[in-house]
Structure 1
Amino acid sequence: MTPTPFTLSVPDDAIADLRARLGRTRFPDQAPDAPWTYGADLGYMKALVDDWRDRFDWRAQEAALNAWPQFKVRMPDVDLHYIRAEGKGPSPMPLLLMHGWPGSIFEFIDILPRLTDPARFGGDPSDAFTVIAPSLPGYGLSFTPGQKRFSIEDIAACFASLMVDVLGYERYGAQGGDYGAFTASRLGYAHPRNLIGIHINMITIRRDLPPPPNPTEEEARYFEELAAWTREETAYQAIQGTKPQTLAYGLTDSPAGLAAWIAEKFRTWTDNDGTIESAVSRDHMLADISLYWFTGAIGSSFWPYYARLHAGWPIPTEGQIHVPTGYCAFPKEIIRPPRSLAEATYKNIRRWTPMPKGGHFAAMEQPEALAREIQAFFRPLRNG
């Protein structure tokens, strides 16, 4: 398991093919109600497709990613891609930084310099991290056609081996949102001796448990929000968790279909004013969508949903996580359990911070605020 340097370079003919396909997009009509009522808005999607075809500069995004040292290493069942960004400080702490779905390694372009070189942003160099940011197995640059599909349990085992067996970090921190938060939590449960702590921006407690007999006001609010979200916002989980292969045909063949599937999540899950771009730049979103397109990895990225639906929750029902835990409570996160419920699983919460603004894609939406919270959480743990 010897890492080799990696540089991303999409062939010119693949970019030309994408533009040609975008130029032949066959759009549906739209029901005569308010935009976005039933999913991705037709007017927005026509403008996004035109922008992707005619203005978006993939090479600029590729260069931004290639500015960071990247590697691939042959792990069991996957050629794993990761960034290894060395910290600039007296004793940088190793930090495993993990994205989720429908995110990618592009989520971290703006937060990486803040974590690796805090002094550049007016911070303390003692807070520096050496960041290991992998593409999740089955996602983006950690995908090859026909490879094994990975559950969260598999991803956590793979990353534990990467950090300890490949990179030699006996102790490290882990941070993530979405499936990155699931993976950090699984690492804290299954590999606690190697974890300095975990920091997450989504709480991953089970969502099928009944309310307590006498819920507090905050608990009642959570279950009301959970019921509404389950009713209106989980259709994607049902199809990705039951028929991922069927959905993959449409999204692998149609870039417009892929863009609609992902862009709708950016609009629904970010802290925006009605337009995606008020929370996340269009170029950042298109870089993420483009990586799914060029790698053909959208189908395999569904697999954690299938595994979770058919094999169970990554943390067993009675399982507990005892490693130090920090949490950023962003106001527009898709699921926001109160601390009283989270503490049944996370038994060692050291920091719980309500954030003034931000949503599901926190590293893209609020990189400065998230970086400060990660630094603050790990600061007292560095010498422990």
Structure 2
Amino acid sequence: METFRIDVSDEVLVDLQTRLKRTRWVDDFANESWQYGTNTAYLQELVDYWIAGYDWRQHESAINAYPQFRTEIDGMPIHFVHVRGKGPHPKPLILSHGWPWTFWEYRKVIGPLSDPGAHGGNPADAFDLVVPSLPGYGFSTPLRKTGVNFWRTSELWVKLMERLGYSRFAAHGADWGALITADLGHRYPQRVTGVHFSMMLPLDLFSGGLPAPEDYDADEAPMAARLQNFFATESAYSALQSTKPQTIALALNDSPVGLAAWIVEKQRSWSDCNGDVETRFSKDDLLTTIMIYWVTQSCGTSARYYYEAAHHPWKPVHDRMPVVEAPVGISVLPEEVCSAPRRWAKRYYNLQQKRHHASGGHFTAWEEPQAIVTDIRDFFRLRS
């Protein structure tokens, strides 16, 4: 274990400014609703702020206020935040992010979960928090190994938590993090006190294992339509990153505006923002996520995470039902596209808690931090 601080060189920041100012903008028309993809006028506005108003050093300092570490597991660098809980018996909890997230998307829940007494809660609900960057993402780079996907990451997390002295622990995740967390509950039920997530997809997703039409009750028709619409209109990024990730990596690693277009469009489309991304993410929020990908040059290896999932499909370690045997808690946000029918969820998971919320989308801990904090506290309160 080595302590870690972010210290991006001035040279990288100067080069970024040069690239931004030399952008060759593409013509855009009849795209006010982003139906063709990222709206160029909005992106120009964001880039103008990136050039003249955004201060990376301010955000770098804010991240560095948290205790960060790096270690090597199975030949791979793993970066993580480790915040000790303030309470009588803090429980270890690992938080896993997804794409195009970073570990920093959990910033809003770190304080309330680790120090509930300072945030209107009960100190007895405190957690020791471990918030890693997925392998090949952000500061868990450079990744030089192939075959690293979500189910192999769950093995890395067990080793990471062992290294930190946690033989058993709690886990929460969203997006890829939800699949990592669910796999922990399937593959290592004896190592986790429970698993909690906000996205429901089968672990054999890349082998075609979606819920069947007959699993949906009549009142769940909108959910089925939303998932069908996602695969019809929102999944081109996944098809590309699952098949030819290096092709898009060459473009995004060279163009900060291209990288911004690739990421911001997803943050707008997948959040509960009603078409106005800045109701959920400020310009600084958007740019800090983009900057973490940019300064670490991790767009390529994060894209390969899809390829490795598609080409190294998940294989179960047992054929029992429920597939995820550890106790499961789920937060359901209305604009999360990857929700599953209740009948399927009760069969697939050892479901102990399921909470439905009135607002929020895919970026759960960022969009609805209080709801996620409450659900996590309630779910793990009696589990040890």
TM over 0.5: yes
Query: Is the contact between residue 170 and residue 193 of structure 2 (CA under 8 Å) also seen in structure 1?
Result: yes
For 1:117-164, what per-residue CA distance to the aligned partner results, in whole angstroms no more than 9, with x for missing partners? Answer: 111111100000010011100101001164445111221111110111
Matches within 5 A, 1:1-384: 3-144=1-142, 146-148=144-146, 150-164=148-162, 166-205=163-202, 206=205, 208-209=209-210, 211-213=212-214, 215-313=216-314, 318=319, 320-346=323-349, 348-382=350-384
Distance 1:314 1:122 in 2: 43
SS at structure 2 position matched to 1:72:
strand
Q: Which runs of 4+ in 1 moved over 6 A?
A: none
Unmatched segments (≥5 aa) in structure 2: none
Q: What is the distance in 2 between the residues matched to 1:143 and 1:65?
A: 17
Could you tell me whether the CA contact under 8 Å between 1:21 and 1:254 is conserved in 2? yes
* Structure 1 residue 221: Cα displacement: 3.4
Match of 2:325, SS? Answer: coil
The whole-number CA distance in structure 2 between the counterparts of 1:222 and 1:193 is 33
Q: How far does residue 216 in structure 1 lie from its aligned partner after superposition?
A: 1.6
Match of 1:141, SS state, is: coil
Task: Tell whether the 8 Å contact from 2:146 to 2:308 is kept in structure 1 after alignment.
Answer: no
Contact 1:186 1:315 survives alignment (8 Å)? no
- Specify whether residues 317 and 272 from structure 1 end up closer, same or farther in structure 2 by C-alpha distance, changes over 3 A only: farther
**For 1:329-373, what per-residue CA distance to the aligned partner results, in whole angstroms no more than 9, with x for missing partners?**
011112121221122321x11110001111111111111221111
Q: Percent identity?
A: 38
Letter in 2 for 1:14: V
Instruction: Tell me by how many angstroms 1:171 deviates.
Output: 1.0
2:177 is matched by which residue type in structure 1?
G
Distance in 1 of aligned mates of 2:133 and 2:107: 13
Cα pair 2:99 2:175 within 8 Å, conserved: yes
With normalisation by structure 2, the TM-score equals 0.94
How far apart in 2 are the matches of 1:232 and 1:80?
Answer: 34
Please tell me the residue identity of whatever aligns with 1:267: R
Q: Does the 8 Å CA contact 2:330/2:354 hold for their aligned counterparts? A: yes
Distance 1:60 1:96, change over 3 A: same
Query: Match of 1:34, SS?
Result: coil
* AA partner of residue 327 (structure 2): P
1:143 and 1:89 map into 2 onto residues whose CA distance is 33
